[in-house]
């Protein structure tokens, strides 16, 4: 599975192509993690726009109207994310296929979300690629487009094509992209914000046993921010050796368990600094530091400024 690492450290521009009867759920699971990554990193890592074929407003399957930023012909950027959801079989017109083929020249990646893969395949843009679609449509998809290597996966990234199987899988996909193209620990922060234990790993890259171990370790860390445990104690609760846990965390998040734990504690500290009037010494205690000086040093190393400097900007 290819990552988007060639565009690392740049602002990524995602255009989301909507059609009538698109899924609100799929749209939210695509955009909200991007917004959260910007908020938590305090950097414009992602920008996004909503497009339609002709620039006219569209209405979702649940009745929400969206006024787009413009028509598809004006779009260009990192990725075009095609999101028809319901009623996609009635969208296989020549005009749509021609528009998608023209757009392929203006974007680094084309992505079919939910049933968007069907429109890409209809335009001949998935021939010779591995791809997935909503699993209810997978058999028909494979039969209708024999030149596409249909896969029963939550999402597939094959060279310059990205396909995703549904609304919940869209969240998984975006979390994977955050992890691959920026800091894997940022994906942990986003996952915690949305109260999911999934640490944004690629479902195809790690076994479920390994994934559960890392997820469980992060959950234990989150539960013990005020009184931190040792890595050995966490490993014991997970049910593996310290060395095994260290290897799994390093493989999945490209960081040590200590670094992950410190990031979780610093994330809490930053939230308390920004959202409360608590003294730095009180925040230090809530984040597992013996005194304010120790936390301030860790805070500055993590975020490039002291808690007081951050608070003065609010």
DSSP string, 40-83: HHTS--EEEEEEESSS--EE-TTS-EE--SEEGGG--EEEEEEE
Q: Other CB atoms closer than 10 Å to residue 277's CB: what's the count?
A: 8
* Cα(137)–Cα(314) distance, integer angstroms: 49
Q: What is the pLDDT of residues 12-55, one digit of tens each?
A: 999 999 999 999 999 999 999 999 999 888 889 999 999 999 99
When the pLDDT of each residue in the chain is averaged and rounded to a whole number, the result is: 88
The winner for highest mean pLDDT among 76-90, 139-153, 258-272 is 139-153
**Residues 199, 264 contacting (CB under 8 angstroms):** no
Domain ranges across the chain: 5-177, 206-314
> What is d(CA 58, CA 65) in angstroms, rounded to the nearest whole number?
6
Confidence of residue 211 (pLDDT cuts 50, 70, 90): low
Q: Where are the alpha helices (DSSP H) in the chain?
A: 24-41, 94-103, 116-122, 138-144, 167-181, 184-193, 208-223, 231-238, 242-253, 257-275, 280-286, 292-303, 307-312
The CATH superfamily of 206-314 is Homeodomain-like (1.10.10.60)
Can you tell me the distance from the alpha carbon of 119 to that of 21, in angstroms, rounded to the nearest whole number? 15
Q: CA 175 to CA 165: how far, in whole Å?
A: 15
Structure confidence at residue 314 (pLDDT): 64
User: According to the model, what pLDDT value does residue 72 have?
Assistant: 97
Band of residue 186 on the pLDDT scale cut at 50, 70, 90: confident
Q: pLDDT at residue 99 above 70?
A: yes
Of 88-92, 145-149, 295-299, the range with the lowest mean pLDDT is: 88-92
Task: Measure the CA–CA gap between 249 and 113, rounded to whole angstroms.
Answer: 29
Fold of the CATH domain 5-177: Rossmann fold (3.40.50)
Average confidence (pLDDT) over 220-229:
92
Average pLDDT, stretch 181-194? 81
Span 137-156, average pLDDT: 95
Q: What is the mean pLDDT of the segment spanning 176-199?
A: 76
306: exposed, middle or buried (Cβ count in 10 Å: 0-12, 13-18, 19+): middle
Indicate yes or no: pTM above 0.75.
yes
pLDDT number for residue 9: 54
| pLDDT at position 181 | 82
Asked if 209 and 217 count as a contact pair (C-beta separation under 8 A), the reply is no
Average pLDDT value for residue range 59-68:
94
pLDDT at 231: 96
pLDDT of residue 64: 94
């Amino acid at each position: 599975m290819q990552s988007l690492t060639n565009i690392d450290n740049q602002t990524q521009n995602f255009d989301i192509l909507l059609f009538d009867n698109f899924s609100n759920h799929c749209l939210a699971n695509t955009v909200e993690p991007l917004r959260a990554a910007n908020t938590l990193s305090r950097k414009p890592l992602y920008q996004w726009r909503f497009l339609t074929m002709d620039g006219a407003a569209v209405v979702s399957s649940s009745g929400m109207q969206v006024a787009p930023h413009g028509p598809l012909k004006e779009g260009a950027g990192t990725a075009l994310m095609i999101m028809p959801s319901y009623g996609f079989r009635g969208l296989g017109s020549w005009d749509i296929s021609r528009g998608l083929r023209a757009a392929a020249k203006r974007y680094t990646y084309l992505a079919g979300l939910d049933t968007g893969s069907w429109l890409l395949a209809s335009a001949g843009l998935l021939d010779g690629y591995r791809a997935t679609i909503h699993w209810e449509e997978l058999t028909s998809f494979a039969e209708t487009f024999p030149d596409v290597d249909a896969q029963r996966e939550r999402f597939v990234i094959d060279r310059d094509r990205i396909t995703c199987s549904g609304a919940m899988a869209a969240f998984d996909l975006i979390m994977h992209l955050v992890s691959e193209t920026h800091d894997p620990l940022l994906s942990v922060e986003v996952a915690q914000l949305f109260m999911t234990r999934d640490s944004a790993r690629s479902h195809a890259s790690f076994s479920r046993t390994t994934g559960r171990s890392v997820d469980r370790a992060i959950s234990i860390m989150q539960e013990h921010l005020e009184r931190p445990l040792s890595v050995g104690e966490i490993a014991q609760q997970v049910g593996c050796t310290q060395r095994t846990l260290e290897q799994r965390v390093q493989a999945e998040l490209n960081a040590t368990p200590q670094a992950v734990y410190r990031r979780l504690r610093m994330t809490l500290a930053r939230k308390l600094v920004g959202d409360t009037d608590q003294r730095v010494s009180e925040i230090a205690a809530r984040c597992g530091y013996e005194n304010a000086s120790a936390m301030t040093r860790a805070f500055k190393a993590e975020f490039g400024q002291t808690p007081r400097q951050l608070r003065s900007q609010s």
